[in-house]
Structure 1
């Protein structure tokens, strides 16, 4: 099989498949019924035309018969007047009209036979059309019932195209919902950990640690203040002695880091920067 033959075969098969899917039996039956009715109407029109033609020939035949009778009278009158020549002419015309009448009778008989055949065919065709109409309505009812049953079955089993689309839509909605729920949970977790605050702030990790240290220092300072207030309100000498001892400890604790920082760091630039920071805090 050549390429063109194969291509033609494939195209015809594809078109046939498309037509089969697009074909509606109800519409096909209705179309066939209308075509048969059109044919019946054409047959009736042909019978009417044939009958009209036959009537014209019959009228022409009657006129010829009247002429024949007229020529008979002319021949008799000519004989009574001893005009044999006129009588002969009248009889010749009569003979010509008789021949025409015979031809018309043959044509009329043929038309009558054709008309009878057409009437018989028309009756058979009309009977077939009525039979087809009954069968058409029965087939349409069966098809519509089968189609409705198929749709119900597809809806119940979810095998139909529309139900498949609905199922896919539900699956997509569930996936989208799960995704949005996971995203919302992630946002809540990030908000709880303070990630959003860190992201929106322009401070780095050193600034945040320094702020945390200052907050802790303020808490310690307030705690010492409360201790001092409680110590002043106490009347026992031991409390005063303890307060003095605590003060000495604090003084020693403050002096020791300075000594360590001075002896432990050999970098002059770092020492100078630390000294500047201390001066700023004292100021």
Structure 2
């Protein structure tokens, strides 16, 4: 009966409370599942023994009840033949077999009750096992999710990432400087070209004025 007590403890156990108190919930839930599965194996073995014994008792009861009926018929036959002593002996045999039948029936009832209890507890144990496996699956999923998130956070706070981002900023600044130089050349080129043309035309005009003044001075001297 130790197995029944052990199984009752498992069925009545609060899995959540056990996990809350555990230092390593994953290990605890694995051990709980292992314990339940091992208990179920023992239950099947025990149930097989009970069923075999129940069939054996059925055969014995059938035989003993047949003897009870047979001795009852013999006692009746003896009475019909006015054989009271023989009838008394037949009834004594009937009583002996009836007592055997009562004892066998009590054993049969005990085994039937045990099988009924076993079946009920097995159903509850299977429910607990399903609950434990669901919790184990949820824990594995949560652990995987937490591990992935931890990796992401580690990457986000990695010095390599910060260094790479700083390098990107430097490259971007260098590109900005190059683009600024190109823009400056375009700006000064477009501004100096018209200015240079004006200067050339003014130089031509100044040269013409000088030539005219020089010619005038030559004419005055010749006169």
Structure 1 length-normalised TM: 0.43
Offset from partner CA, 1:74-98 (integer Å, 9 cap, x none): 2223334433332221110001111
The Cα of 1:51 is off from its aligned counterpart by 2.6
Match of 1:138 in 2: 138
Offset from partner CA, 1:76-127 (integer Å, 9 cap, x none): 2333443333222111000111111112222222222222111111111111
Alignment partners' CA distance in 2, 1:157 and 1:32:
39
**Structure 1 gaps, min length 5:** 1-19, 164-283
Computed over aligned residues only, the root mean square deviation of the Cα atoms, in angstroms, reads 2.6
Alignment partners' CA distance in 2, 1:99 and 1:53:
19
Q: Find out whether 1:51 has 2:57 as its counterpart.
A: no
The Cα of 1:24 is off from its aligned counterpart by 9.0
SS at match of 2:82: coil
Alignment partners' CA distance in 2, 1:57 and 1:158:
75
Aligned residues: 138
Q: Find out whether 1:103 has 2:70 as its counterpart.
A: no
Q: Find out whether 1:115 has 2:125 as its counterpart.
A: no
Q: Is the 8 A contact 1:44 1:122 kept in 2?
A: no
Q: Which has the higher contact order (CA 8 A, sep 6+)?
A: 2
Alignment partners' CA distance in 2, 1:145 and 1:129:
24
Q: Is the 8 A contact 2:75 2:90 kept in 1?
A: yes
Alignment partners' CA distance in 1, 2:63 and 2:81:
27
The Cα of 1:152 is off from its aligned counterpart by 4.0
Aligned ranges 1:29-40 → 2 under 5 Å: 29-40=29-40
Structure 2 length-normalised TM: 0.53
| Higher Rg | 1
**Structure 2 gaps, min length 5:** 1-22, 161-223
Q: Is the 8 A contact 2:29 2:132 kept in 1?
A: no
Match of 2:66 in 1: 66
